[in-house]
Structure 1
Amino acid sequence: MRVAVTVQHPGHVHFFKHAIDELEARGHEVHVFAREKEMAVRLLELYGIEHEVLAGESHGLASLAAVQATYELRLLRRARELNPDVIAAIGGVAAAHVAPLVGARSVVFYDTEHATIIKNLAYPFAHTVCTPSCYVGDIGPKQVRYPGYHELAYLHPDRFTPDPTVRSDLGLDEGDSFVVTRFNDWGSSHDMGQSGFDDVGEVVDRLSETGAKVFVTAEMELSNDIEGHRLDLSPERMHDLLYYADCYVGEGATTAAECAMLGTPAVYVNSLSLGYVSELADEYGLVYSCNGPDRHRNALSHAVDILEGRGGGADAWRARRDRLLSERVDVTDVIVDQVESAGGGSDSRQKLTA
């Protein structure tokens, strides 16, 4: 069959990369369509995934609407030429809109309950919406729940082996302590009205006082004193770095979940909680989720405890991760199964249980 995959964020590349390989290995024809967003196109190039870029970056919500419209129109034009059986995506606004117009089935994967705009634009038109079993909300008969997390599509141990040379690439010795931070620009549609840390500078200063090297990843410009901490690393090496980090502290939920899959302590700071982050925190103890009015202070307290040896040793965090892996699935298998089921015309909406 012919499958179209749409990519509008770097995380989408990670999510689909192994599924693309498996679908092609099974004889299916896969076409990848991308929009410029942070390092998404760069990652496709680094992984050697053939793709077409249909639209560029957006700058704020006003330009996002124009870029999205351009992306959808160009995807529709290419889909009419290719005649795909299935269009797969994360979020899936463009996929859900285009698929019915070309006689294809859309398979949408999503895990963010508070992304109201995306849900309202995609879910009513999608044929299948696949969510983690911890997703808060009932989408109806088109929903497929599976026992896993997006990040297990690429960080399951069957898919990922960390490369220790990342330390030396950054000038780190084996015994050096380091922490990875992430700060959002809060410009995405699902981030409207939300916030994280009160003072980014205080975060970097306090973490540095523990003696740990602080690496900053951020979507926006930083002040000169913080800019010196910005991480300079090829994007495909990021998960190697997270595996060896002493701690992650940040406003990005995906990175917090990635650390949970790797057994690395994570402190997540956001005014809103998410179903999958809450489960990783409450059920597995792999994330500190700081969401209330004191989130800035609480997050720093957790992070400092971890970096100063009061947050439990590495073996304890890896043991929690091992328990998670024993109870969750390789999500690439879910992607491939759902795409093939949709393309085969069978009912792909059977709910999976943990």
Structure 2
Amino acid sequence: MKALFDLYHPSHVHLFKNVIWELKEGGHDVLITSRDKEVTVDLLEAYGLDHVTLSGKQSGRLGLLTETGSRFVKLVNIARKFNPDIVAGRINPVSVYAAKLSGAAAIMFKDSDYLTPLSKITNPFVDVMYIPENFDIDLGGSEYRVDAFQELAYLHPDWFQPDPQLLEEYGIDYNERYFVLRFVSMDAHHDGGHHGFSPEMKRKIVSELDQEGTVFITSEQELDTEFEQYRLPVPAHLIHHLLAFASLYVGDSQTMATEAALLGTPAIRSNSFADGDDLSNFIELEDEYDLLYSFGDETAAFEKITSLVAREDLQEEWDQRRQRVINEKVDVTSNMMDLFLQKGGVT
């Protein structure tokens, strides 16, 4: 089987890395295309995954349109030459149309249960839309629902075991109390008008946590000078090892909040997505498993931070909550592997 993976964001590398390794080990032909956005390329190289970089992130609407056009032409040409059986990736028009124009099955993964204007011109051409069971949307006959959080593709214990020795190489003692903060830019097209922590609240959170332990900050944007001393000391491909041993995660990021929760780390998420109708995966993590706390009001988020930090007996309780998720949810990578082989005509 020939499989083409179009990976244009760091989270996509994590999502597909294990199934890519499994496919390669099974003798299948895999081609990866990438986008130079944040640490996407760094992750691929750290994992030893060969790839073809199609474009780099551009700013502004005109820049995005130009980049998208360039990506489309390049990906179609590559796909036609490679002649894949399947094209897999997060849902996006470029990947879907490249699959259609090369005769491949478009297997797309959707990680949020809201639709954008692009959905109308993309979804009808998808062969399989891989979505969590709990999503409150109807995508018709292409739906492939799985009772799982997609982040389990790389955080399920069958595929990931946190290693404290990797942290020690960067001067981090996993037994000491530390906190991981994640601040994002909210500039993607699907973020449309949403926002995270204000600059003032970021300072307040850092000041509070700095008195209780070591603070590490990871950010999509350049860190402000005042936060430089808290810069994440480990390379991007070790972030989940750091998260796994953290005493608390705080951020306005969508993905990393889920990752922290699934690793059994108390997680607080605050952004305007949580103000009103929140996304189904966050609701389930909070209401069903009590692993995540989401707030549209940053002041309420800060109050929760102080209440959790005041407790030093959280880990055993959170480990039990995490284990329940592992017991009840599907192993995403194994499930993906079966699906790809089926759609690729192998089984």
TM range, smaller chain: over 0.9
Q: 1:180 to 1:121 in 2, by over 3 A?
A: farther
Shift of 1:118: 4.7
- Tell me whether 146-155 or 59-68 shows the greater mean CA deviation: 59-68
How much has 1:117 moved relative to structure 2? Answer: 4.2
Question: Where do 1:55-94 residues align within 5 Å?
Answer: 55-94=55-94
Shift of 1:221: 2.5
Return the alpha-carbon distance in structure 2 between the equivalents of residues 123 and 189 of structure 1.
17
The answer for the alignment partner of 1:296 in structure 2 is 298
Q: Distance in 1 between matches of 2:28 and 2:236?
A: 28
Retained in 2: the 8 A contact 1:15–1:150?
Answer: yes
Which amino acid in structure 2 is aligned with residue 304 of structure 1?
T
User: Contact 1:117 / 1:190 at 8 angstroms: preserved in 2?
Assistant: no
Give the secondary structure class of the aligned counterpart of 2:99: helix
1:236 matches 2:237: yes
- Structure 2 vs 1, CA of residues 39 and 118 (structure 1 numbering), >3 Å: closer, same or farther? farther
> What is the alpha-carbon distance in structure 1 between the residues aligned to residue 289 and residue 107 of structure 2?
29
Distance in 2 (CA, whole Å) between partners of 1:321 and 1:278 is 15
State the partner residue of 1:350.
Answer: none
Query: Residue 306 of structure 1 aligns with which residue?
Result: 308
CA distances 1:201-257 after superposition (whole Å, capped 9, x unpaired):
222122223x22111111113322122212131111100000000010001111111
Cα 1:115–1:240 shift into 2, 3 Å: farther
Structure 2 partner of 1:226: 227
Partner SS state of residue 123, structure 1? helix
Distance 2:165 2:26 in 1: 33
Q: CA deviation at 1:166?
A: 4.2
**Residue 25 of structure 1 aligns with which residue?**
25
- 1:152-178 Cα shifts (integer Å, max 9, x gaps): 000100000111024434434454211
**Pairwise CA distance, 1:333:** 1.4
Q: Match for residue 123 of structure 2?
A: 123
Q: Which of 282, 286, 293 matches 1:277?
A: 282
For the structure 1 residues 230 and 345, does the alpha-carbon distance in structure 2 shift closer, same or farther, using more than 3 Å as the test? same
Supply the distance in 2 between the matched residues of 1:169 and 1:117 (Cα, whole angstroms): 46
**Corresponding residue number in structure 2 for 1:168:** 168
Normalised to the residue count of structure 1, the TM-score between the two structures is 0.92
1:28-43 alignment, distance < 5 Å: 28-43=28-43
Greater shift, 94-103 or 59-68, is seen at 59-68
Write the letter of the residue equivalent to 1:205. S
- When normalised by structure 2's length, the TM-score is 0.93
CA distance in 1, matches of 2:166, 2:115: 34
What is the deviation of 1:65?
2.1
- RMSD over aligned CA atoms reads 1.7
Residue 115 and residue 40 in structure 1: after superposition, are their counterparts in 2 closer, same or farther (change >3 A)? farther
- Counterpart amino acid of residue 12 in structure 2: H
- Any unmatched runs of 5+ in structure 1? 347-354
Which is worse superposed, 24-33 or 58-67? 58-67
Partner of 1:16: 16
CA gap 1:60/1:206 in 2 versus in 1, 3 angstroms: farther
Q: Which residue number corresponds to residue 152 of structure 2?
A: 152
Query: By how many angstroms is 1:334 displaced?
Result: 2.1
Cα deviation per residue 1:35-89 (whole Å; 9 max; x = unaligned)?
1110111111110111111111222443222212211110000111111111001
Superposition deviation, residue 18 in structure 1: 0.7
Rounded to whole Å, the distance in 1 between the matches of 2:256 and 2:283 is 14
2:55 maps to a residue whose letter is A
Contact kept, 8 Å, 1:115 with 1:189, in 2: the verdict is: no
- Judge conservation of contact 1:54–1:71 (CA < 8 Å) in 2: yes
Larger mean CA deviation between 196-205 and 83-92 belongs to 196-205
Aligned-partner SS, 2:63 = helix
Match of 1:257 in 2: 258
**Displacement, 1:339?**
1.6
* Identical columns (%): 35
Structure 1 residues 268-310: Cα deviation after superposition (integer angstroms, max 9, x where no partner): 111112211111111100000112xxx2111111122222217
Q: Provide Cα deviations, 1:96-134, integer angstroms capped at 9, x if missing partner.
A: 111111111100011122351453343122111010112
Q: What 5-or-longer segments of structure 2 have no aligned partner?
A: none
